[in-house]
Amino acid sequence: MKIFILELFFYYFFLLYLYWRVGYIYNRNGNLAFLGSKMPNPASIITYPDSSECSLAWTGHLVHVAIPGARGEYVRWNNFLDVLPHPQGLGPLFTGQWNLYAQNPDSSSHLFGTSQGAGTAILTLLGGFHPQTQSLWLTDIAHHHLAIAFIFLVAGHMYRTNFGIGHSMKDLLEAHIPPGGRLGRGHKGLYDTINNSIHFQLGLALASLGVITSLGSPTHVLFTCLCIHSTRLYYSKLHYIRITNTSQGSS
């Protein structure tokens, strides 16, 4: 129960962070944007490395808290500066000997929550499941999220933003015309259509998030509900401010 509460708190804190980011993006210039207004730079918003940062943060949690806890060494506020996640610390990272982090993994006889059968590896690619918990190995999960963080950090610069590198999203969409023209002009105008409608963007975001979280745990489903609820509150707030400003301007 405590783990569930902490996980829920983490998700809700992350939701508040996204809530603040959206508000900052739309209101940093003093413009209260709502329906019919364009994003300042949609490519920057889409490729913003939030996904990379979150994956890296989750890797840090697994390496510094979850994996030691699974091996019977509990990290709390009073000892988190003293407990090393790996016996060699950051040495293999700076020397390029990253393979040392995968040596000596937990054995198949590891008793979860104790040091019995525990190893010292923190980033592995073992495959399969822990025989006791029937879950993926935590060291495999940490390795996965670290790789995702690196990939998203690089892929975050795939589309052209303020730095002039990458591809133009609008040019890519409008260049996609089927051979023979049987399907019309392809995606021409789709970029402006999505960029000009926050309702369109919200629909795509919720549809994607709903599909992903429907495959996850009930905690993720609850997180989706919190996202939808907070998003509705946010747009309701913008709508109220827009109506208020309109009425004040007309008077």
pLDDT digits (tens, 9 = 90+) for 44-83: 666 556 667 778 888 988 999 999 989 988 888 888 888 8
Phi first, then psi: give them for residue 68, nearest 5 degrees: -60, -35
Decide if 116 is inside a domain: yes
Decide if 165 is inside a domain: no
Q: Are residues 220 and 242 in the same domain?
A: yes
pTM over 0.85: no
Q: Are residues 141 and 205 in the same domain?
A: no
Long-range contacts, stretch 241-246, CB < 8 angstroms, 24+ apart: 241/32, 242/32, 242/34, 245/32
**Total structural domains in the chain?**
2
Q: Are residues 139 and 65 in the same domain?
A: yes
Residues 180-219 have pLDDT tens digits of 666 667 678 888 887 777 777 777 777 777 666 666 655 5
Domain that holds residue 68: 50-155
Decide if 179 is inside a domain: no
Q: Are residues 32 and 114 in the same domain?
A: no
Decide if 102 is inside a domain: yes
Residues 133-166 have pLDDT tens digits of 888 899 999 999 999 888 888 877 777 776 677 7
Location of structure tokens 């902490």: 6
